[in-house]
Amino acid sequence: MAPSVLIVDDHGPFRAWARVLLEQAGYAVIGEAADGASAIQVARHTRAKVVLLDIRLPDFDGFEVARRLSAEPSTPAVVLISTREAHDYGERVSQSCAVGFLAKHELSAAALAALLTAVDSPNPTSGGVAGE
């Protein structure tokens, strides 16, 4: 069974598209949020196993949200997403506590599963970054 997912993005149409995409692949999308503060509250309430987290949010960025979520007792796997490529953020992606990155145009259930599988395997080889 696919893990539960929280989608965090300030663009409503993207959240709706990502929800349909992931639910059709068997993921349980159990929440959505449009900003960082809401993301933290919804993550605490739903205890989603995966947080699909946009880097650019209206209140604070996804790196800060990921850092705050990593301090929670039930830490979700955070996958950063962006319309930009990972290299546009320099080392911030690899230095973050996120399990990986996906460019929004490369988001698919298979790409998400590959990142999550790499995290669960003893010797991940992908580096956790797709879309470079």
Give the CATH number of the domain where residue 16 resides: 3.40.50.2300
Is residue 120 domain-resident?
no
For the entire predicted model, the pTM comes to 0.89
Please report, in tens digits, the pLDDT of each residue of the chain (132 residues total): 678 999 999 999 999 999 999 999 999 999 999 999 999 999 999 999 999 999 999 999 999 999 999 998 889 999 999 999 999 999 999 999 999 999 999 999 999 999 998 876 554 444 455 544
C-alpha to C-alpha distance for 27 and 113, rounded to whole angstroms? 10
Q: Are 55 and 36 in contact (CB under 8 A)?
A: no
Would you say residue 106 lies in a domain? Answer: yes
Residue-level pLDDT at 58? 96
Domain holding 81, by residue range, is 4-49+65-112
Position 124 scores a pLDDT of 41
